[in-house]
Amino acid sequence: MPKWTLTTEFTFDSAHYIEDYNGPCGRLHGHTYRVRVTASSTTLHPSEYCPHPVMVADFRSLRWAKRDSTKGGLDHGVLNELLPKEYATTAEEIARYIYNETKQRVPEGVTLKVSVSETPNSWVEYED
């Protein structure tokens, strides 16, 4: 059975603080987050932008988080204000949030993995 796997990577700039953290991360500060989304499927699908079944998932749908925070993304926002209260603003929870939101934007049967980095040398990966 064939299987396609695609990966897209993007950045967004946002501020956050980790609630009750005893140290610098407990104060408001910013990062250029680097996000990698990997999507896999054994079938190809149409998208909101293309009616033909020719893609695993549309790159535009996978990159939603890089949009400006005033347009439904996370760029140039304060993550503590943008993410629902059940998510902390650690890299782990940001990855889980992006995964859950992205999962709603891709066709059924597409598997996802989301990686998030706050710094050039530290990554977290999330998949369900």
4-26 tens-digit pLDDT: 999 999 999 999 999 999 999 99
Handedness of CA 96, 115, 12, 4 (dihedral sign): negative
Q: Give the C-alpha separation, 83 to 97, whole Å.
A: 8
Distances (CA, A) of 53 to 43, 50, 87: 8, 8, 34
Q: Which fold has domain 4-126?
A: Tetrahydropterin Synthase; Chain A (3.30.479)
The values of phi and psi at residue 110, to 5°, are: -85, 130
48-101 tens-digit pLDDT: 899 999 999 999 999 999 999 999 999 999 999 999 999 999 999 999 999 999
- Residue 1: the pLDDT is 83
- Residue 59: the pLDDT is 96
Count the neighbouring beta carbons within 10 Å of the beta carbon of residue 38: 18
Identify any residues that bridge with 126 across adjacent strands, giving them in sequence order.
114
What pTM was computed for the model? Answer: 0.96
